[in-house]
Amino acid sequence: MVQRKGKGSRGKDPQRTQELKNRIGRILSELEKIHPDARLELEYSNAFELLIEAILAAQESDKKVNELAKTLFKKYRTPEDVLSVPLEELEKDISSVNFYRRKAKLLKNCCQGLVEMFGGEVPKSVDEMVKLPGVGRKTANMVIGGAYGLPAIIVDRHVMRVSQRIGLTDQKDPDKIEFQLMEIIPSEQRTKFSFLLLNHGKSICTARDPKCQECPICDICDSCKIKL
Ligand code: SF4
């Protein structure tokens, strides 16, 4: 195993970077075999819906958000629809999710930004999307990758944990992890990589009890319990 250098030092360590690039192909091919349908769990039919759902999904289960979405998007099809109702009405309509009062304000602000900055359309770049109030890089990448199918590294808690365990990143900050992963993952594989790690983190490399004995990338993972 290649020895890891100090935090943030990988950019000065081309040997380590190359070694990690070499691992990516194996990781993708092995994880694709056990997660052939890897994708987001949120159900949506366009970028606007996914953006709204991503905001609603903070500290809430995807299942709950999907349930709400079945009725929500019959009433709210565009950012203008969200802006057209009083805040209290929107709060009531999303009251089945956690922190609905705060999220209702976020949705209003985000939709205001969509209308004022982008003519009501969800932009197709992360740099533009993060200009929207309440939208960070994780949400922006989720929409870019999930709804538009463009290259995106989605650093949610699962992708963060699995990347750290495998040894693909020595960072703790999600944005820094994203940029570090971009150094080693070709752009055309980034969205697939995100979905695979997300699914792997939910099913096998779980937070409390990673099932290393079932994991096909144990031999190239820095944290595999079997070989430690
Ligand atoms: S070997 Fe274990 S720690 Fe490494 S990715 Fe697989 S389940 Fe996670």
Give yes or no: 156 in active site.
yes
Pocket test for ligand 1, best of 221, 225, 226, 227 (most atoms within 8 A of CB): 221
Q: Supply the residue whose CA is at minimum distance from atom 2 of ligand 1.
A: 212
Instruction: Record the tokens describing residue 17, joined without a space.
Output: 């970077």
Res. 48: pLDDT tops 70: yes
Residue 150 alpha carbon to ligand 1 centre in Å:
27
For residues 211 and 218, what is the distance between their CA atoms, to the nearest angstrom? Answer: 10
Average pLDDT for 40-64: 97
DSSP string, 81-127: HHHTS-HHHHHHHTTTSTTHHHHHHHHHHHHHHHHHHHTTPPPSSHH
- Binning pLDDT at 50, 70 and 90, where does residue 228 land? low
Is 219 in a helix, a strand, or coil? helix
pLDDT for residue 3: 40
Crossing angle of helices 157-166 and 174-184, in 10° steps, is: 60
- Compute the half-sphere exposure of residue 177: CA atoms within 13 Å on the CB side of its CA: 25
Mean pLDDT for the chain? 94
From the alpha carbon of 224, which atom of ligand 1 is closest?
A: 1
Evaluate if pTM is beyond 0.75.
yes
Q: Catalytic one among 93, 103, 108, 138? A: 138
Give yes or no: 127 in active site.
no
CATH superfamily for 47-146 is Hypothetical protein; domain 2 (1.10.340.30)
* pLDDT per position as a tens digit, 164-192: 999 999 999 999 999 999 999 999 999 99
DSSP string, 124-192: SSHHHHTTSTT--HHHHHHHHHHTT--------HHHHHHHHHHTS----SHHHHHHHHHHHS-GGGHHH
Listed in order, the ranges of the chain carrying CATH 1.10.340.30 are 47-146
Closest CA to 78 of 106, 51, 57, 99: 51
CB within 6 Å of ligand 1 — which residues? 162, 165-166, 204-205, 210-212, 215, 217-218, 221, 223-224
Listed in order, the ranges of the chain carrying CATH 1.10.1670.10 are 12-38+153-220
Q: Does domain 12-38+153-220 have CATH number 2.40.30.10?
A: no
Residue 24 alpha carbon to ligand 1 centre in Å:
14
Instruction: Record the tokens describing residue 222, joined without a space.
Output: 């820095």
